[in-house]
Amino acid sequence: SSSSTSGRGAFIVFEGLDRCGKSTQVARLVDKLERDGHKARLQKFPDRTTAIGKMIDAYLQSKAEMDDHAIHLLFAANRWECAAAIRRDLDDGVTVIADRYAFSGIAFSSAKGLPFTFCLPPDTALPLPDITLYLTLPPSVASQRSAFGVERYETVAIQTAVREQFGLVANEVKKRHGDGRWVEVSAEGSIEEVESRIWGLVDSVVNGGVDGTVGELWV
Ligand code: NYM
Ligand code: MG
């Protein structure tokens, strides 16, 4: 469409608990955008391909131990090493879809007991998402899915604590950046049902809903 080729790209973030179906939905959304003639790129966080990402990967697979503060800062550093490319793509009219972002960083670290006053600052001034879609699924449902429990944090107790922290993160986003920046989407039902819920929310954002320059997170 004409609106997608003239302005900057939209920055759309997906968040949610582990095994909520997020990665499946993100992949389908990128496919759909490309079929519709948009330029779109998937950015996964953590990006496990970089040097920092490999340290994070080892930690998540419990092949390495790390101080809670140190791993929190590595997750943030992993976003910073991708930030310039995200901004460049948005400026070039590419819609960037992120599978997790700073909000996972805060929710998972604060669930371990780190205070918000420590967790928020490292991500300050990262590219501000135009919208974050938070996929919700009861931890008891996610825990029945295949591969749940493979990585660190994948227990019902931890996921329940993370879900509580995501609620506080949502409040912070709405307070600092406005209610429209954070939208909850039920991840229950079939893949197609969830997909159509998501598309209903994303459609107006990618088709002319983003004006002006990309903002800065927490600023
Ligand atoms: N995670 C992800 C964090 O603890 N902090 C972060 O900043 C990010 C981006 O890593 N359990 C956690 C959430 C997940 C895990 O993510 C890996 P994924 O989407 O399963 O690869
Ligand atoms: Mg995972």
Measured over the CA atoms of residue 166, residue 116, residue 102 and residue 199, the dihedral's sign is positive
State the ipTM, two decimals.
Answer: 0.98
**DSSP string of 13-62, one letter each residue:** EEEESTTSSHHHHHHHHHHHHHHTT--EEEEESS-TTSHHHHHHHHHHTT
Please tell me the predicted confidence (pLDDT) of residue 130: 97
CB contact at 8 A, 129 and 98: yes
Asked if pLDDT for residue 5 goes beyond 50, the answer is no
Asked if pLDDT for residue 4 goes beyond 60, the answer is no
Asked whether 100 lines ligand 1 (CB < 6 A), one says yes
Substitution site in 50, 60, 155 for ligand 1 pocket (most atoms within 8 Å of beta carbon): 60
CB contact at 8 A, 216 and 11: no
Question: How many Å apart are CA 112 and CA 123, to the nearest integer?
Answer: 18
Name the pLDDT band for 6 (thresholds 50, 70, 90): low
Tell me the per-residue pLDDT of 130-151, one tens digit each, with 9 for 90 and over: 999 999 999 889 889 988 999 9
User: pTM for the whole thing?
Assistant: 0.96
Tell me the per-residue pLDDT of 30-82, one tens digit each, with 9 for 90 and over: 999 999 999 999 999 999 999 999 999 999 999 999 999 999 999 999 999 99
- Residue ranges and CATH numbers for the domains of the chain are 2-206 (3.40.50.300)
